[in-house]
Amino acid sequence: MRSKVHPPDLPGVERSPLHCENADVEAHEIAVVLSQPTRARLVALLRESNGPMATAELAEKAGLHPNGVRNHLELLFEAGLVERSQSSHRRGRPRDEWTIAESGRFEDPAAASSDLVRWLARAYPSGRHGLRRIESIGREVGLEMRIETGSDPKLDFISALRRLGFRPEEEEREAGFNCRLGTCPYREAARENREVVCSLHRGLTRGLLESVDPGFRMLEFEPRDPDAAGCLIGVGVADDKG
């Protein structure tokens, strides 16, 4: 899996006390820290970044004052959710740079996806540009997800959906297959911001399919009422994979 954080033995990386002493941060503690939308947004920006981001850069992207962003980052750092390093290649005083923490909470996107959905539902407004960005984040998560591979990519995909809590049921279709989802593990977040949650789920599904088998293509994605579930994913299979 591609890593976006500094390896533990790199110099200049400061680890939070909570991360050092207890990698398994309790879910309720994380929820308290991320219940503030700005902190959820900062985590989302770092999660989609290709490398460390400076405080000023995060502030610019979030449209906030650097001092306020620095305070939020300190709380995320204390909770073990981000890591801090200092750049040394520029003149003057070294600046703080931030990455998502290399902890069990973020090593496996499958384990963290439900939290990610909830944070993004709070952090991002609806709107065409925002939804495209959310779908792109979801695709990246799907591409990075750890897949238990076997002899049948279709079963690998269905198993991955089960791990995420969707309870998929396979349906046959010409040159492919459908998955009808028996439950929505994101329903609570969807009640807050359904457009964002469904966009993230669409991107995650697309990335997951690409990761499982390059011959898979998402032909349909029909979201339904999250409380009733029943969302439909239609998958096309390339001829040489049929």
Phi, psi angle pair for 98, to nearest 5°: -125, 145
Give, as one character, the DSSP assignment of residue 16. Answer: P
Q: Are 69 and 132 in the same domain?
A: no
Res. 24: pLDDT tops 50: no
Q: Is residue 90 part of a domain?
A: yes
**CA atoms of 98 and 47, how far apart (whole Å):** 11
Share of the chain above pLDDT 90, in %: 33
Q: Are 73 and 166 in the same domain?
A: no
Contact 207, 145 (CB under 8 A): yes
Q: What's residue 118's pLDDT?
A: 67
Which one of 35-44, 71-80, 232-241 scores highest in mean pLDDT? 71-80
Q: Is 93 exposed, middle or buried (0-12, 13-18, 19+ CB in 10 A)?
A: exposed
* Sequence letter at residue 238: A
**CA atoms of 216 and 175, how far apart (whole Å):** 10
Q: Are 118 and 227 in the same domain?
A: yes
Q: Are 164 and 81 in the same domain?
A: no
Range of the domain at 193: 109-241
For the domain that residue 63 is a member of, what is the CATH number? 1.10.10.10
Q: Is residue 200 part of a domain?
A: yes
Q: Is residue 8 part of a domain?
A: no
Task: Report the half-sphere exposure of 143 (CA within 13 A, side-chain side).
Answer: 13
Give, as one character, the DSSP assignment of residue 239. Answer: G
Q: Are 117 and 232 in the same domain?
A: yes
pTM over 0.85: no
Of 200, 157, 199, 203, nearest to 181 by C-alpha is: 157
Q: Are 27 and 113 in the same domain?
A: no
Q: Are 51 and 114 in the same domain?
A: no
Q: Are 70 and 150 in the same domain?
A: no
What single string gives the DSSP state of each residue in 177-233? Answer: EEEEES--TTHHHHHH-HHHHHHHHHHHHHHHHHHH-TTEEEEEEE---TTT---EE
Higher-pLDDT residue of 42 and 18 is 42
E strands, 120-186, are 168-173, 176-181
Q: What's the distance, Cα to Cα, between the start and end of the chain in Å?
A: 28
Q: Are 178 and 164 in the same domain?
A: yes
Q: Are 35 and 78 in the same domain?
A: yes
pLDDT in tens, 171-220: 999 999 999 999 998 888 888 888 888 998 999 999 999 999 999 999 99
Give, as one character, the DSSP assignment of residue 240. Answer: G
Residue 179 token pair: 């998955």
Q: What's residue 112's pLDDT?
A: 54
Q: How confident is the model at residue 47 (pLDDT cuts 50, 70, 90)?
A: confident
Give Cβ neighbours of residue 134 (< 8 Å, ≥ 6 apart). 120, 124, 196, 199, 200, 203
**CA atoms of 220 and 89, how far apart (whole Å):** 48
Place of tokens 């902890």: 103
Mean of per-residue pLDDT scores for the chain: 77
Q: Is residue 33 part of a domain?
A: yes
Q: What's residue 21's pLDDT?
A: 38
Q: Is residue 7 part of a domain?
A: no
